[in-house]
Amino acid sequence: MPRRQLLWVTLLGSALPGLARAQAAAEPLRLSRLTGPIELDGRPTEPAWDKVPLLPLVMYTPTFRAPLTEKSEIKVAYDDRYIYLGARLFDSEPRKIRANTLYRDRYSGDDIVALVLDTYNDRQTASWFTVNPAGTRIDRAVSNDGTSDPNDNWNTFWDVATSRDDSSWSAEMRIPFASLGFQDVNGRVTMGLIAYRLVARKNERQLFPAIPPNWDFGFAKPSMARRVVLEGVHSRHPVYLSPYALGGVSWRAQLNPQGTRYRRPHDGSYEAGVDLKYSPSSNLALDLTANTDFAQVEADDQQVNLTRFSLFFPEKRQFFQERSAIFDFGTGGQSRLFHSRAIGLANGEPLRIYGGARLVGRAGGLDLGLLDLQTASRDSIASENFGVLRLRREVFNPNSTVGAMLTSRISTEGHHNVAAGMDAAIRTVGNEYLTLKWAQTYSSGLANPAVDWKQSRMLLRWERREQIGLSYAGELVHSGAGYDPGMGFSFRRDFSSLQLQGGYQRLMGARTAFRTLGAAVSGFSFWRNSHGSVESAEVAPQLLGELKSGYGIFLTLRNSYESVRDSFSISRGAVVVPGNHWFHRGELFVMAPRAASFRPTLLISAGGFYDGTGISLSARPAWNPSKFVELGVDYDYSRVRFADRKGLDLHVVRVRLQLALDVHASLASFIQHDNADHSIGINTRLRYNFREGRDLWIVYNETLNTDRQELFLPRPPFTRLRALVVKYTHTLGL
């Protein structure tokens, strides 16, 4: 590229974020109000649609602002009760239009049209609605201005219809205001709006407004959304009552008191409960629950753990999803002051939840989250009350907040754990952010002074939140020996750490196969508070690139240091011994494009492992042979060898089979095998969705023993656990 042209591209790239922010801050666009009825048939041909202007789209990927290769007509409008999207999406090769799945909340390389709405106009959160040509819906929740992964487990009430003809496919979305939540001032509502189309086979994303591709999820970034105004929209107060009935039978193999044989006691269960969702105002959502049950929730993935620290598992239960970002209080990495999996789960097994309440909302720049639940006792686990209060307020500018959180965990046996925290995320200038956090815990049996260095955790972070161009971050954390968040999650205790990272990426021109190329380096050091010795450290340079086809390639060299004081086991018979270990590993990560019917993803790592050597392989191929079937196989292999003691070979295989007859009837089967645990787990869920809010679930779980040769004990049965549950949920709008 000539030097003068390169200079102009560089100057334009540096100016684009400012131009986009100016656009987002411009005079709000008045959204069109419909002048007539809309029949939701997937054909936006009613006379009312004719008066709605088209949104001007630009190419987002693979080359920003390049000419669009396919014609798209997308319109957004509203009436008293709903916001609508109507789209006709032309294709020069209509037989190549992709509709790879009928399974709700799955993206499998489909063509899609999407609407992203920052309904609270907070420039931090949004509701994200997507549909493919087969009418398959995805709804997700965006938080932290798109800097964290969207929440795919969130669901709400909305309708969509699609259709196809010889030259295009079309879609109509109808989203109730009652499902969104918003702030109105005398019937005037301001919110952020993003709409886009994806032509999957070309990786071509057509976007409104013209957001530069400077972030991973820039096409769904609330702060970059176009501000729009709706007039004459007033709050409604819907009530949704969702009773459920459940019946099932299960048995678990148990060794008799004499240790001579296994018994199979059967346990029949018949349950009923109810959830109530009510919006006392347009910006508040109240959920009440009694005898809560999560029988239909997908099983957790088994994970390979080669460290001395706990594994993190995400929350999948629907009750905790509504505006869950309000409860975010991260304390570094995946550690957090509040993690909802502490409620109703013990060692991965469910505990009965008697009931409770959850209130979330936003008013006048103040975010509010309130949660209180009571769990039942079981065996040696006492009944407990879990309470959370979260407040967060906008300050200085729409992208800056200060907040506080209070959690309490109190058992009927008198034990308690209370945590209090304050945080601030300040956008100083441009994309520069300063984050400050402090938290302290108070537990039974401790002195619990009001402020104590040893029972607190503090975080200071400065970062530039942008992927294209220069990016950097620095984070300093201190965590005391007595810091113990009873409702949170923390990898380590009694440490201080420094983490630094920096990198540079650039958008490539139209004539290259690469969309982006870049380099980065990251490093961290964790040291013990007791005498300041380093416990863990790492420096990792990286080369990275993304092809215009959607493939990503990452080459990393990890240079690690681990100071081990006490030996720990990583598998049966494999032990890491005390010592100061320097080791180096090379990694190759190939990320498949999501917009493909076959999606191979691969991670290979090889090199040192403490005082030995190791090789690990993770493969994640997924394939949609048709829209009725999706097959995914996850394979994790770890091989570790030590010179003077036993090593290990770990295999974890997960098979995911998803079948769908149509958008109402679906079956998901999840089978996983872990050779270290000598088990095969089977989780199969059949769902029939009569209509939104009315579901029949049939759930089958089984755990099989793969190693039945145990010394000094009778031979274990082939089946360790078996359960069959039938559940019906019926939502009533009152």
What's the pLDDT tens digit per position in 21-47?
444 456 889 999 999 999 999 999 999
- pLDDT bin (cut points 50, 70, 90) of residue 313 is low
pLDDT at 20 over 50: no
- pLDDT bin (cut points 50, 70, 90) of residue 163 is very high
At 398, is the secondary structure helix, strand, or coil? coil
Number of H helices and number of E strands within the chain? 2, 47
Average pLDDT of the residues in 561-572:
87
Within 10 angstroms of residue 235's Cβ, the number of other Cβ atoms is: 18
Q: Which CATH number fits domain 3-230: 3.40.50.300, 2.60.40.1190, 2.60.40.10, 2.60.120.10?
A: 2.60.40.1190
pLDDT at 197 over 70: yes
What residue segments make up the domains of the chain, in order of their start?
3-230
pLDDT at 303 over 70: no
pLDDT reported for residue 568? 86
What's the CA gap between 338 and 13, in Å, rounded? 39
Greatest C-alpha distance within the chain: 86
Average pLDDT, the chain: 87
- pLDDT bin (cut points 50, 70, 90) of residue 19 is very low
- pLDDT bin (cut points 50, 70, 90) of residue 309 is low
pLDDT reported for residue 713? 66
pLDDT reported for residue 299? 58
Q: Point out the least confidently predicted range of 129-133, 320-324, 377-381.
A: 320-324
Average pLDDT of the residues in 452-476:
93
Q: In the chain, helix, strand, coil percent, each to 5?
A: 10, 55, 40
pLDDT at 325 over 90: no
pLDDT reported for residue 717? 80
Average pLDDT of the residues in 692-701:
88
Neighbouring residues of 541: CB distance < 8 A, sequence distance ≥ 6? 519, 520, 521, 556, 557
pLDDT reported for residue 393? 92
- pLDDT bin (cut points 50, 70, 90) of residue 7 is very low
pLDDT reported for residue 12? 35
Are the C-beta atoms of 264 and 255 separated by less than 8 Å?
no
pLDDT reported for residue 24? 47
pLDDT reported for residue 2? 39
What's the pLDDT tens digit per position in 595-606?
778 889 999 999
Q: How far is CA 352 from CA 243, 416, 730, in A?
A: 17, 20, 21
pLDDT reported for residue 692? 80
pLDDT reported for residue 304? 53
Q: Point out the least confidently predicted range of 113-117, 240-244, 310-314, 339-343.
A: 310-314
Average pLDDT of the residues in 493-520:
92
pLDDT at 264 over 80: no
pLDDT reported for residue 234? 80
What's the pLDDT tens digit per position in 64-120?
999 999 999 999 999 999 999 999 999 999 999 999 889 888 888 899 999 999 998
pLDDT at 534 over 90: yes
Are the C-beta atoms of 698 and 685 separated by less than 8 Å?
yes
Within 10 angstroms of residue 223's Cβ, the number of other Cβ atoms is: 23
pLDDT reported for residue 301? 55
What's the CA gap between 266 and 248, in Å, rounded? 11
